[in-house]
Structure 1
Amino acid sequence: MKNIAITALASASLLAGATAARAQQSAASANAQQSSTDTSAVAEIVVTAQRRQERVATVPISITVANQAQLERQQVNTVNDLSRISPSLEISGAPGQNTGGGGAIRGIGTQTFSAGAVASVGIVVDQVSQGNANIGDLFDVSRIEVLKGPQGTLFGLTTSAGVINITTNAPDPTRFSARVHSELSDAGTAGSKYGDQIVQGVVNMPLSEDAAIRVSGLLNRRQGVDRNATTGDLNDNNRYGFRARLLWRPSSDLTVNLIGDYTHQYFNNGGDFFTFVKTGGPGPFLGGAGVDPVGLTARLASCGVTPGVGNRDYCTSQTFADRSKNYGASVQVDYDAGPFDLTSITAYRRNVDQGFGAATNVFRADPFELQVQNLAVDRRLRLFTQELRLTSPSNQTFEYTIGAFYSNQRERRAPEGLTVRLQPVPGFIIPIQTSLGANDTITDQSLAIFGQGTLHVTPKLRLIAGGRFTGEDLTLDRYNLDIGTTNNYQHEGLSTERISYRFGAQYDLMRNTMAYATASRGYKGGQIATPSLPLAPYVVRPEVPMDYEVGVKSTLFGGWVLDINAYYTKVQGYQAQQCTVVATTGVINCLTSNIDGVKTRGGEVNLFGRVFQGLSVNTGFIYTKATYPTSFIGTDGTNIGGSQLAYAPKYKFTFSGEYEHPITDRFKGFIAADAVWKSRVRYEANQIRDTTYLPHWVMGGRLGARTADDRFALAVFARNLFNVHEPLLMQSSLPYNGADNVGAIYGPSSFRQVGLSVDAKF
């Protein structure tokens, strides 16, 4: 309970400061603020999926929208949590992913450890593409839109599967306001399997009649989920961050938004990494060159670890520590030039990851004869983007958006050495493999021009056409230290020029119902794959999907949005990573390759928004048949052509709802529930049953009360109430012997959490 006490004191300090500052604030102001942040409280949900503000029911794209109220009742605090808000969205969140979470939409996504890779699902925050310098934490967020299917026309080269479009709350020059939100849990209390103390604070301060600043902050202290059986300690994962946003309107025609953010993360004892869920007995290893007379099961038992589904224990006397920093700034200038609006967005982001993280000791099991260890990580990434847009006014015969976009992303990786050794008895070490690593510099530069227009042919019929031309240069400069100091320079490069486009039509069937049909070609840039040494880097072609979609949208009961769609997508050059364990060393080797002919097709239905006063429900169901091409050979040498892609459930259902009802004139009670159901998920491109996870439900909810003016709330919450152990990643042959030994990576979503949440608004 010590961590809860510390964090509760921090919450109390923020509350006290906010209370002192609110002296002249009225209940009416608080209510007005609530309406501005809770889109379920209004009849129309507004989105920016087409780079202009539009009602979601009129946009010819399948979109799932989650507002601030839904994000908080589902405890969506990180990007990895977003898979619970949309049936079409999956985020693996495995450590070390280079693409900011490995998101997938409709089964199509990118999970890779290569330095030169970009995502299939782009993350955009306040209209700024995050590239590979993605944010990890979500706080003071107004709305999240999940845009499905290729979005290359308006959003660029990292959106071949879709976009996660995040909008934070804007400063308000009309009033002062403040808010504190906290979620407190403790390992072992009320059945919680790990501890997590989260405090988020927000202060909005008017500076003048036309300017305001909004400052928000986050403190997150997590204990677990992994546990070191040698010491009995849960792993610590601590983060803090802030965002400052300045809004200035010097004239009625000009608006300036200046945003800066910073997040720092520190974890020790290994973080969330591999634990063993299945192990075998005595047997050969190192490709038959060695024999383990004891077996992994007995070796783990000797240090207090029992393999099995949901095992989060490891055992090592080594210590680990890792620090990462993510920060950036952007300036957006909007000018109303009369016949069009001119927008300029300049942004810079940087990510630094340093230390001895979990992957330093891959197995984290001291009794093992075979030990695979990596040296320290030092990765530094920076991203500069510049966008210019011209946007016509809405509600005219021809609406258009045209623009240009430039990005320059560079990542530097210091040598990440590797040692493999055999320790048959304590103190006696036999070296198997040693690698010093390489200095890598990866540069990805692109320039694009784009445009999209909508022609109102009749009051009911609209035609859509748009295109984007992208030129991209990708290079890798490597100094391989294993070769020596001379002739150790390696260079790989890829230059591409591609066109992506969208064509379609939409028709108003009745006053609140619209149908649409679109054909879209997307584009995701190529990669320069960087497998483990001594394998050399190599070029992976761009990923080009062709998507066809039809859908219907309708507004029900004055605010509940119905979104039904069917789709068919075929991907040329699908970039897939396949990880195997090298039999002679135990090293995990991940190779990325192009797969032509990957398909995804299916249908989806979503309902989101307010059903009626007091009841908000967001729910959806998807059927996705995402398959490998005919005769595709998996990592186990079997033909898995036509079977479901890794990380892609064929069926998925999501639900989130809250109902509130007055208790007295001063208080309202509320109950909230959320649930996710998935069909079986495979984690490797093979037929090994032990690296799949069975169909399952993950359920949670909240029960509490709030004041009639919505200024104060107290609730008890539960996440993953039935403690279902869905993994983030699974790997066979860990460290050898095929399906006899299987490892899994679990995260916070894999275990039950029970706690208390407190909210206050001023």
Structure 2
Amino acid sequence: MSAGIRAALLVGIAGAALAVPAFAQEGSSSTAGGTPQQQASENNLGEIIVTATRRQERLQEVSMSVNVATGEQLEKFNIFDVKDVAQLAPGLELTNTTGRNNTTTLRGITFDPDQGTDPAVQLYFNEIPTDAQTAFTAMYDIEQIEILRGPQGLLRGISAPAGSITIRTRRPGFDAIEGFGQVTATDRGGYNVQLATTLPFNEKLSIRVAGLVDGNRINHVRNLPRDERSYGRTQSARITVGFRPTENFTSYLTYQFLQNDNNQFTQSFGPGNTPFSAVPTATLGGIFIPDTTIRSGPALDPTDYASVQEGGFRTRNRTHLINLAADLDLGWSTVSLVAAHQFTKLQTNRDLDANNAIPGYVQYSSVQTPYYVDTAELRWQSNNREGFGWGVGAFFSKQTGTTTVDQDASQFWYAADPGSFNPVPCVAIGFPCAGPNDLTPFPIPNILNIGTLVEVPVNSKIASFNANLRYKTGGLTIEGGIRYTIRKQVDSTLLTLTGDVNSGPDEIIPASLRSNTDKPFTGGINVNYAISDNLNVYAAYGHAFRSGSTGVAVPAGISNDLIRTNPEKTDSYEIGIKGSAFDRRLNFTAAAFYQEFDGFLSRFTGIFYNCPDVQGTCSPGGPPINNATDVPATNGAFDFNYNTPAKVKGIEVTIDGRPTDNWDFNVSASYTRARFSNALVPCNDFAGTGTPNQTGAPRVTGAGNVSFCRTNGRLAETPDFGLTANTEVRFPVGEYTPFVRGLMTYRPGFYSERVQYDYRSRQQVNLFVGLRGPEAKWELTAFARNLLNQKRISNIAGGEGQVNALLGSTFSSGYRSVNVTAPREFGITANMKW
């Protein structure tokens, strides 16, 4: 497709409707017993009702920036996957680069689940904090998703610096049988089947049953050595029992089962390499013969969607989730209870040598993470809308479970040339030899087989208490409150070595860092003033807190600042305007914000380290080795957490409208500048320039266990600007309604200092054409995802995949790990409601 045609198509779709997720065009057809999404007449957009403040309010009256996606929109735009939710809100990035961990970025603030802290963007599933790996894996029968932007430190149980995402499933009504069924199939092996129905027994008891079966190719990558494709399979079922014995008491008990199986191969990009030619191979006679015949794989382009990973990368999730929500209306006040129990077992098996730096050898890793989470929250708040209002609450959560990591940590080396540097005695590397002074005359590759067994018991408790006041008179509303939290966590890591080196189990976390308690105060205040019925302005201040974390399975012997992070504090200021015009045919919001972090918790992945032990396992008590000639320049790479100063500022704008009765359009854009503030951060600085670089052999520069770089760079690998758009144009013909829908996102290109890569811009366009039957009882839709077939790198590793050789060199694969946007995909969806 030519650039001119692409530009014309983009302009046409954008002119028809630039959009955001936030606003449904019709009332929800399956929310009986729940909150109506909006009260729309046939010619205007009506009101949008949200629960961002833990009470039902008009979106216009909420003093924060909020995006809203209804269940109908998720169905209309075939939002089945976590990554696709980002198409409905600018500045929101939801990624899964490995098939195992879901990473959320909002307002330029990112969070990696592996960093072991509370999320920067906290996720709530039916008002209970839930991990993204569970909540986003199976998205079906959803009533509403609300994306709350900015610090959340008061009204919800866990403080979060960037925002919260609340997911509310549909509840059963008590009046009539109703439900829906939806089937989708694509030309790239994708399928999605959803079914839900409400069965009321009487006006006091009702149930809703929903289920999902989903399959797809995830990142569309083919594994060349195994001749297999990436795939994902998900099955889930949910049953909700509604009980309303009186008009003043209502409760909903939900049970959800989830089973997910993903095999997502790591995509490689680059020319490949002959890894063994980079280090000399030797015969027993000491004659060096470079091996130039064994390749890591062929030259690969991002559009090849190919993997050279000789082992697999399989992740399985099995979850049971029970949720209870109950409300007792006392007339002048309401008492609410939400409680949940979650049992999840995650299992990951993968090849650590994802880019095949050592052909013919699979570095296995098996991680099992069973965990139990019990959560409860009790709230009591007044019901009055005018005058003084109040609310108090208590929250408690406990998580337990023991993660077990069984992983290959073998070391590789080649025979040393006596003329170039001192050979290493066999005993120095723990390898059996004929005599204690014998050198290492073995041909490459030689392997010191080391297996590691790591056990990480988790014991975390959070208890918090909050109180808030609200005063409303005329058009003025003032709200404020405070939350006191007690967070206790015990961190422990037991390491056992097996194989050619045997030791343990040994505790590798220093005793002073194992037990931590934080007792922060968080909260905020906001002022909202209604200039008229159709125009509100607001100002808000928020303070949030996140506890630091102790790294688990970290290399023994490194400095404490690389093991334990300090707490993070943040203050945010926001002003905004919300309104409507033309008899509510046009809604708009705009917000500007500034946020400052003291000790921002960030994760730096793939950082090479060294420590005083040539076995690569690091012995405590000694200085780093830093490029000595008779020991390795690095012992390997690890992912480290670190505290940094940071600042965030930006603006967000949303417009949605209904110019005619049969055309809806929406547009939402955000600009966020989120940067480190003259921060000293862990980095890979192989050249010793003080800036990130991974050219040549890994090496640590400076006086620490890792290299450090000074930076004012991005907090996340995302652009500053983002835009999302969607539309629907209808062409009624009697009882039938043909329609055209469009969904578009735009991400400009940007240069990443952290990974030294210039990302290209992305324009994702999805097009839907279909027919709706009488009374909207059924729909048949044909669609195309990524209509322009853009294949852009969305994430790339900082350097080539490498494996350390024991004596100071490396095996380099010649590839960098990448994620590339999915290729164009055609499909068809059939939807029926009753």
What TM-score comes out, normalization by structure 2 length? 0.78
Q: Quote the offset at 1:657 in angstroms.
A: 1.4
Mapped pair 1:259 → 2:254: yes
* Structure-2 separation of matches of 1:489 and 1:532: 8
Q: Quote the offset at 1:317 in angstroms.
A: 5.7
Q: Quote the offset at 1:434 in angstroms.
A: 2.5
1:47/1:145 contact within 8 Å kept: yes
CA 539–315 in structure 1, closer or farther in 2 if over 3 Å, else same: closer
Query: Deviations along 1:195-215, whole A, 9 cap, x unmatched?
Result: 210000011101111221111
Aligned residues: 707
Q: Secondary structure at the match of 1:623?
A: strand
Q: Which AA in structure 2 matches 1:689?
A: Q
CA 526–104 in structure 1, closer or farther in 2 if over 3 Å, else same: same
CA 128–700 in structure 1, closer or farther in 2 if over 3 Å, else same: same
Mapped pair 1:331 → 2:324: yes
What residue is the counterpart of 2:106 in the other structure?
A: 105
- Among 469, 484, 496, the alignment partner of 2:503 is 484
* Structure-1 separation of matches of 2:608 and 2:465: 45
Larger-gyration structure (1/2): 2
* Structure-1 separation of matches of 2:99 and 2:224: 24
Q: Which AA in structure 2 matches 1:675?
A: M
- Among 517, 524, 533, the alignment partner of 1:495 is 517
Q: Secondary structure at the match of 2:63?
A: coil
2:798/2:816 contact within 8 Å kept: yes
Q: Which AA in structure 2 matches 1:735?
A: G
CA 422–226 in structure 1, closer or farther in 2 if over 3 Å, else same: farther
Q: Quote the offset at 1:488 in angstroms.
A: 4.0
CA 477–317 in structure 1, closer or farther in 2 if over 3 Å, else same: closer
* Structure-2 separation of matches of 1:494 and 1:680: 41
Query: Deviations along 1:102-152, whole A, 9 cap, x unmatched?
Result: 2121011212424x3221101112111114664122111111111000011
Q: Quote the offset at 1:670 in angstroms.
A: 0.8
Q: Quote the offset at 1:646 in angstroms.
A: 2.7
Query: Deviations along 1:232-281, whole A, 9 cap, x unmatched?
Result: 332221110011111111001111111111110123xxx23422222465
Q: Secondary structure at the match of 1:709?
A: helix
Q: Quote the offset at 1:84 in angstroms.
A: 1.1
1:608/1:619 contact within 8 Å kept: yes
Query: Deviations along 1:498-546, whole A, 9 cap, x unmatched?
Result: 0112112111122211000111111122212225544668221222111
Q: Quote the offset at 1:699 in angstroms.
A: 1.2
* Structure-1 separation of matches of 2:318 and 2:55: 32
Mapped pair 1:653 → 2:723: yes
Q: Quote the offset at 1:96 in angstroms.
A: 6.5
Q: How does 1:200-215 map to 2 (within 5 A)?
A: 200-215=194-209
Q: Secondary structure at the match of 1:750?
A: coil
* Structure-2 separation of matches of 1:739 and 1:419: 17
Q: How does 1:541-556 map to 2 (within 5 A)?
A: 541-556=566-581
What residue is the counterpart of 1:743 in the other structure?
A: 816
1:110/1:120 contact within 8 Å kept: yes
Q: Quote the offset at 1:732 in angstroms.
A: 2.5
Q: Secondary structure at the match of 1:375?
A: strand
Which runs of no fewer than 5 residues in structure 1 stay unpaired? 1-27, 188-194
Mapped pair 1:725 → 2:794: no
Mapped pair 1:415 → 2:405: yes
Mapped pair 1:362 → 2:353: yes
* Structure-2 separation of matches of 1:30 and 1:46: 15
CA 487–222 in structure 1, closer or farther in 2 if over 3 Å, else same: closer
Mapped pair 1:602 → 2:628: no
* Structure-2 separation of matches of 1:498 and 1:65: 30
Q: Secondary structure at the match of 2:303?
A: coil
What residue is the counterpart of 2:376 in the other structure?
A: 386
Q: How does 1:655-734 map to 2 (within 5 A)?
A: 655-662=725-732, 664-681=733-750, 686=754, 688-690=755-757, 692-727=758-793, 729-734=795-800
- Among 79, 89, 93, the alignment partner of 1:76 is 79
Mapped pair 1:760 → 2:832: yes
Q: How does 1:116-265 map to 2 (within 5 A)?
A: 116-131=116-131, 134-135=134-135, 136-187=137-188, 195-223=189-217, 225-265=220-260
Q: Which AA in structure 1 matches 2:305?
A: R
1:37/1:142 contact within 8 Å kept: no
2:265/2:313 contact within 8 Å kept: no
Query: Deviations along 1:415-466, whole A, 9 cap, x unmatched?
Result: 3322346599xx975215624131101222111011222212x312222211
Q: Which AA in structure 2 matches 1:462?
A: T
What residue is the counterpart of 1:65 in the other structure?
A: 68
Q: Quote the offset at 1:645 in angstroms.
A: 2.5
1:279/1:296 contact within 8 Å kept: no
Q: Quote the offset at 1:395 in angstroms.
A: 1.6
Q: Which AA in structure 1 matches 2:110?
A: G
* Structure-2 separation of matches of 1:292 and 1:36: 74
Mapped pair 1:539 → 2:595: no
* Structure-1 separation of matches of 2:450 and 2:31: 63
CA 386–464 in structure 1, closer or farther in 2 if over 3 Å, else same: same
Q: How does 1:201-600 map to 2 (within 5 A)?
A: 201-223=195-217, 225-267=220-262, 271-279=263-271, 281=273, 299-301=296-298, 306-315=299-308, 318=311, 321-356=314-349, 359-363=350-354, 365=356, 368-369=358-359, 371=361, 373-420=363-410, 429-431=445-447, 434-456=450-472, 458-482=473-497, 484-485=503-504, 488=507, 490=509, 492-534=514-556, 538-557=563-582, 558=584, 560-580=586-606, 582=608, 588-596=637-645, 598-600=646-648
* Structure-1 separation of matches of 2:401 and 2:293: 38
* Structure-2 separation of matches of 1:233 and 1:173: 49
Q: Which AA in structure 2 matches 1:542?
A: P
* Structure-2 separation of matches of 1:706 and 1:243: 28
* Structure-1 separation of matches of 2:33 and 2:773: 13
* Structure-2 separation of matches of 1:118 and 1:728: 25
* Structure-1 separation of matches of 2:302 and 2:739: 35
Q: Secondary structure at the match of 2:409?
A: strand
Q: Which AA in structure 1 matches 2:581?
A: L
* Structure-2 separation of matches of 1:292 and 1:599: 54
Q: Which AA in structure 2 matches 1:460?
A: G
2:118/2:546 contact within 8 Å kept: yes
What residue is the counterpart of 2:89 in the other structure?
A: 86
* Structure-1 separation of matches of 2:38 and 2:555: 51
| RMSD value, Cα | 3.3
- Among 46, 50, 55, the alignment partner of 2:53 is 50
Q: Quote the offset at 1:635 in angstroms.
A: 3.6
CA 417–396 in structure 1, closer or farther in 2 if over 3 Å, else same: same
1:440/1:477 contact within 8 Å kept: yes
CA 131–640 in structure 1, closer or farther in 2 if over 3 Å, else same: same
Q: Which AA in structure 1 matches 2:74?
A: L
What residue is the counterpart of 2:666 in the other structure?
A: 618
* Structure-2 separation of matches of 1:296 and 1:408: 55
CA 400–77 in structure 1, closer or farther in 2 if over 3 Å, else same: farther
Q: Which AA in structure 2 matches 1:363?
A: A
Q: Which AA in structure 2 matches 1:731?
A: A
Q: Which AA in structure 2 matches 1:130?
A: T
Which runs of no fewer than 5 residues in structure 2 stay unpaired? 1-26, 283-287, 415-442, 610-631, 692-708, 803-809
